[in-house]
Amino acid sequence: MNAPVTTNNLDAFWMPFTANRQFKKNPRMFVGADRMHYTTSDGRQVLDGTAGLWCVNAGHNRPRIVEAIQKQAAELDYAPAFQMGHHKAFELASKLVQLTPPGLDHVMYTNSGSESVETALKTAIAYHRVKGDGSRFRLIGRERGYHGVNFGGISVGGIVPNRKMFGTLLTGVDHMRHTHDLARNAFTREVPEHGVELADDLERIVALHDASTIAAVIVEPVAGSTGVLLPPKGYLQKLRSICDKHGILLIFDEVITGFGRLGTPFAPDYFGVVPDIMITAKGLTNGVIPMGAVFVTNEIHDAFMNGPEHMIEFFHGYTYSGNPMACATALATLETYREEGLLTRGAELSSYWEDALHSLKGLPHVIDVRNIGLIGAIELEPIAGEPTKRAFAAFLDAYEKGLLIRTTGDIIALSPPLIIEKQEIDFIVDKLRDVLTSLN
Ligand SMILES: Cc1ncc(COP(=O)(O)O)c(C=O)c1O
């Protein structure tokens, strides 16, 4: 017989990205969720200020999605992903490429953001090779970038604790500087004025390695997990033109920014810069079933479509690529987004969101407030010698007060479901004001 779940038997599960010992002394358990709220095991309602982990864009327990999963499980639970197909995988692909910028008309499926990143990096290197340009193998990331936890992703990523434990990582990787500049840009609303020149770092790297060795540059259009760092005005445009000049592919990691987070369907719709490869996951299925998708240009796709027709063109894929359950969930998610206008709802709410967040300026320890679409960040002065402790205390206190936030370093990150109403934005900011006022 299974033992009942009590605080005494939490030992076996080694939790991801969690302070395990702290958690297990005082667990925070959810037992239900509906729309904007979780229900805790002690019967409280907690407002989801982070859309789960930046993924539940349509809110929780959405009827279309629930129904689609139930129906699909009874109809076709699994189909082999290699050399076989099922209708929903193709239907979803066709619908997705109508949403993405023109030219990004082909899509590969994965099961997570991390797998999408690996897929994109491998595709970039292989693309140059099939074109006869196999000397282009280098991958360029950026300091403070987050591209998931697999070896390619942590190699191009730039978050030190995510990298330093894991040996030599991938070779042939270099990093541009990050764009965070509190001295010049603190308390900017939306994209900061200063820092476009940081894109020239790519020219420096090209000068060092020679463009003929570089396959791709990967960036998050808005860096999320590192604590919400926005691209300076003109920065992404400049990266695009340097890539074009040198024949380097530009990869946008849109695992967070995709599917409406910026108030536009994807980052190119916001910034007017279109990458060669676009990485997504999270909001694709509203976070309900694991799934990711990687979009590539026609040029990249077509470069692989040669050789004998009985031959596999690209030796890559996963047992669960385009799993029927995931495809059904994604289709129901897209339908929910469409019916409720959620992919652009952030644009309608962003100025209210912005004013609400910036009203926290001047509270103790607050050294910056940042916002874009329905993303927000409040950066706190770290406690001397004890980095992360202040923000973690804020996280625990907010949870007790009925609000789920996310912290990274000493930064509070916010990304509520896109169905949020103005009074719920007020709730978030009122609770944060309480939390910040009483913080040591
Ligand atoms: C930009 C970015 N890329 C990749 C990932 C990794 O996604 P996953 O946790 O689904 O592997 C994340 C997760 O937060 C992310 O924010």
Query: pLDDT tens digits for 394-417?
Result: 999 999 999 999 999 999 999 999
Q: Calculate what percentage of the chain has a pLDDT beyond 90.
A: 98
Tokens of 13: 């599960």
Q: What is each CA distance from 137 to 109, 127, 209, 369, 382, in whole angstroms? A: 23, 10, 11, 38, 39
Specify the pLDDT at position 2: 47
Are the beta carbons of 273 and 90 closer than 8 angstroms?
no
Beta bridge partners of 250: 217
Q: Which fold has domain 7-61+341-437?
A: Aspartate Aminotransferase, domain 1 (3.90.1150)
Cα Rg, the chain, nearest whole Å = 22
79-108 confidence digits (pLDDT tens): 999 999 999 999 999 999 999 999 999 999
d(CA 138, CA 171): 8
Our mutation pick for probing the ligand 1 site, out of 146, 218, 284, 406, counting the most ligand atoms within 8 A of Cβ, is: 146
Query: How many whole angstroms from 113 Cα to the centroid of ligand 1?
Result: 4
Are the beta carbons of 248 and 211 closer than 8 angstroms?
yes
Beta bridge partners of 278: 252, 295
Whether residue 7 is predicted with pLDDT greater than 90 in this model: the reply is no
178-228 confidence digits (pLDDT tens): 999 999 999 999 999 999 999 999 999 999 999 999 999 999 999 999 999
> Among residues 303, 276, 293, which one has the least CA distance to residue 329?
293
The type of residue at 349 is L
Interhelix angle 324-340/342-358, rounded to 10 degrees, is 70
Per-domain residue ranges of the chain: 7-61+341-437, 66-340
**3 state DSSP class of 407:** strand
Over residues 317-326, the mean pLDDT reads 98
Beta bridge partners of 60: 35
> Among residues 217, 206, 224, 223, which one has the least CA distance to residue 121?
217
User: DSSP assignment of 321-383, as one string?
Assistant: TT-HHHHHHHHHHHHHHHHHTHHHHHHHHHHHHHHHHHTTTTSTTEEEEEEETTEEEEEEPPB
d(CA 366, CA 189): 15
Using alpha carbons only, what angle is made at residue 134 by residues 132 and 137, rounded to the nearest 5 degrees?
145
Whether residue 155 is predicted with pLDDT greater than 70 in this model: the reply is yes
DSSP state of 283: G
Confidence class of residue 1 from pLDDT cuts 50, 70 and 90? Answer: very low
d(CA 349, CA 418): 9
Whether residue 391 is predicted with pLDDT greater than 80 in this model: the reply is yes
Whether residue 386 is predicted with pLDDT greater than 70 in this model: the reply is yes
Confidence class of residue 5 from pLDDT cuts 50, 70 and 90? Answer: low
Domain 66-340 has CATH 3.40.50.720: no
Over residues 384-391, the mean pLDDT reads 96
Are the beta carbons of 193 and 120 closer than 8 angstroms?
no
Over residues 342-362, the mean pLDDT reads 98
Our mutation pick for probing the ligand 1 site, out of 111, 178, 225, counting the most ligand atoms within 8 A of Cβ, is: 225
Over residues 317-340, the mean pLDDT reads 98
Helix locations, 285-323, DSSP H? 298-304
Whether residue 3 is predicted with pLDDT greater than 50 in this model: the reply is no
Specify the pLDDT at position 202: 98
Ligand 1 surroundings by CB, under 6 angstroms: 112-114, 117, 146-148, 220, 224-225, 253, 255-256, 281
Whether residue 39 is predicted with pLDDT greater than 90 in this model: the reply is yes
Over residues 21-40, the mean pLDDT reads 97
Query: How many whole angstroms from 253 Cα to the centroid of ligand 1?
Result: 8
Confidence class of residue 8 from pLDDT cuts 50, 70 and 90? Answer: low
Our mutation pick for probing the ligand 1 site, out of 255, 261, 278, 289, counting the most ligand atoms within 8 A of Cβ, is: 255
Specify the pLDDT at position 440: 84
> Among residues 124, 121, 89, which one has the least CA distance to residue 107?
89
